[in-house]
Structure 1
């Protein structure tokens, strides 16, 4: 009979990663560098802009309606401005540890680029941003798969009791 590995808890996996970081770090860091480099490029060298977009994207993807749209609907512009749980300049500044004035200035640039729409004091992710960040999303997906593989291989290498 083949021994089946019990499902690992998150805490167990986090411990395994911490204890074995020196052996798995290349598999974790290389894809992260790819994501950050491409993100920086997409934002014209300004990582603060990417962090702002990331906060707005998190609030967008957290909205229950966002999950009902197909990739095609999101890319086509059928939904020009995505639903959101709501985010404003102050909450972004608090999230990324930057001054409110810096975030305000960069949000103005992101609005001009068509990546964010401002409705009152709330900020929303646009279909244009979704299209323009497609390569970044693809790279994030690849990073996720690679990280999963690294952790899965590590988990599988640990002897069962």
Structure 2
């Protein structure tokens, strides 16, 4: 079954699929609000994180080592304000201000003119990461249940 068919199946059974999926999206957003003052802050951080994760070395960092403080600096690809602004469609000056605030908070760092998430940010954001995984698993259960019932 292709993605379009999966989406149609979920939409057609909205009374059973919609509420739990929306509840999980809300759970993630509420957890994100504990760390980011607005959606643009989180969007900018996610753009930096996504770029860092695109390098294979980032995936080799274990959660245990990260939380235990065994990682001094996160590997991965860096990005810049212009790239974030273009990819996220947020004005460059807004991105610049958001980045400056996150650098001051210790969530982002500059290395060689590029932006990277910090180890401290990843440690602080671990509850958000775990909420994302828990929500993804619950959504997967909704999808799986819908598949089995059709």
The match for 1:5 is none
Q: Report the alpha carbon displacement of residue 76 of structure 1 after superposing the two structures with TM.
A: 3.0
1:55 is aligned to: 47
Deviation, 1:19, is: 2.4
Are 1:125 and 2:117 matched, yes or no? yes
Tell me, in whole angstroms, the C-alpha distance in 1 between the residues paired with 2:58 and 2:66.
9
Decide which of 38, 55, 69 is 1:46's aligned counterpart.
Answer: 38
Partner Cα separation in structure 1 for residue 52 and residue 68 of structure 2: 17
Q: Per-residue deviation at 1:77?
A: 3.3
- What stretches of structure 2 of length at least 5 have no aligned partner? none
Residue aligning to 2:7: 14
CA shift, 1:100, in A, is 0.4
Corresponding position of 2:145? 153
Greater displacement, 144-153 / 83-92 = 83-92
2:17 maps to 1:24:
yes
CA contact 2:11–2:17 (8 Å) conserved in 1: no
Of structures 1 and 2, the larger Rg is shown by 1
Q: Does 1:91 align with 2:78?
A: no
1:78 aligned partner: 70
Q: Which stretch of structure 1 is more off in the superposition, 140-149 or 14-23?
A: 14-23
Point out where structure 1 has 5 or more consecutive residues left out of the alignment: 1-7
* Equivalent in the alignment of 2:103: 111
TM-score (norm 2): 0.91
Could you list the structure 1 runs, at least 4 aligned residues long, displaced by more than 6 angstroms after superposition: none
Aligned length: 150
Quote how far apart the aligned CAs of 1:132 are.
0.7
